[in-house]
Amino acid sequence: MAGNSFGQIFRITTFGESHGGAVGVVVDGCPPGIEISTDEVQIELDRRKPGQSKITTPRKEADKINILSGIFQGKTTGTPILMIAYNGEFESDDYLELKDLYRPSHADYTYEAKYGFRDWRGSGRASARETLARVAAGVLARKYLQQKSNIQVLSYVEQVGELKTDIDFEKVTLKDIESNIIRCPDQEKAKEMIKLIEDVKNDGDSIGGVIRGVIKNVPTGIGEPVFDKLSADLGKAMLSINAVKGFEIGSGFEGTKMRGSEHNDSLIEQDGKVSTKTNNSGGVVGGISNGETIFFRVAFKPVSTIKKQQQTINRKKEKVNLSAAGRHDPCVLPRAVPIVDAMAYLVIMDHFLRQNINKL
């Protein structure tokens, strides 16, 4: 397996490179009868696309999606769906200086070590441009899950560098998230984050942070035991996103500081429904959803391609100094929010369909 596919029943395969002809996705296992339009997909792609604000890369790509199969008269047919966005605005010459050297903490060296050859134009498959395919597929999953179970994913920027919001994630709305260019629902903290990113950008550097993911209305019993735990698949999904270096669910690492008597979520019954007094488990117990809100955190490292001078080596293993040209995000977080949303929807969709099979 080459690692380009994700999911078991609802399965996606992405293709394309940053500076190639196009980037796209094949979605297999999508149920028939889902009403979907290119406009619905485009809305999410516009949240991810470059050039949308002063704190993202200035590259201007329309990311216009084309649906070439699997949809007829506005509905999914149950057959494979092909969605593709043709690359239009890229400047490969910006990457000529990177042709024979390796950027620190970038996939340049590891890709060449693995394949003996690499596409140095815009990083090839290592580019975050591949994620537009995931976002497109995630729209299909979102539409189905919202219709079947009112499942909603809301991700937002919780932290940039040392700046962190403590806003209650249970009360956050999509309107709150989309109310500013950093996609942090805490308006005052958002201003500080934007200023920090601007300062970092002006310094020729980059900065990382954390995205909070929240999944509401997931029915009890979703997830598979042992290797395909819902939490494990969410972890894999998030860690597959470019620049992600950490994932935690529920209390996460903070839970290590607690006693079992503090951490355990007591079960209660109210109006015939079982719930828990607390939610330190983050909505997943034994790898299976317990009906509570699922919440997690995803840590993103600083972008590795920066204008500030760094020392590295070239293919001849000679020391060289690098001040990278090109157009790169000083912080990936604002554009990564819809990617986290999409990967969460893809995981829940796949497990939702698997659960329905289990009940046949």
Residues counted in the chain: 360
Inter-residue contact 198 to 204 (CB < 8 Å):
no
The mean pLDDT of 177-199, rounded to a whole number, is: 97
Q: DSSP 3-state assignment of 79?
A: coil
Q: DSSP 3-state assignment of 67?
A: strand
* Separation between Cα atoms, residue 294 and residue 355, nearest integer Å: 17
pTM equals: 0.94
The mean pLDDT of 324-344, rounded to a whole number, is: 90
* Separation between Cα atoms, residue 337 and residue 316, nearest integer Å: 39
Q: Is the pLDDT of residue 60 over 90?
A: no
* Separation between Cα atoms, residue 113 and residue 59, nearest integer Å: 29
Domains in the chain, please, with CATH? 5-358 (3.60.150.10)
* Separation between Cα atoms, residue 170 and residue 179, nearest integer Å: 17
Residue % of the chain over a pLDDT of 90: 74
Q: Is 340 left (phi over 0), alpha (psi -120 to 50) or beta?
A: alpha
How much is the pLDDT for 147?
A: 93
* Separation between Cα atoms, residue 283 and residue 219, nearest integer Å: 10
Give the closest residue to 328 by CA, choosing from 88, 53, 58, 16. 58
Tell me how far the alpha carbon of residue 218 is from its chain's centroid. 19
Give the closest residue to 12 by CA, choosing from 154, 144, 136, 153. 136
Inter-residue contact 328 to 306 (CB < 8 Å):
yes
* Separation between Cα atoms, residue 329 and residue 277, nearest integer Å: 41
pLDDT in tens, 123-159: 778 888 899 999 999 999 999 999 999 999 999 999 9
Amino acid code (one letter) for 294 = I
How much is the pLDDT for 53?
A: 79
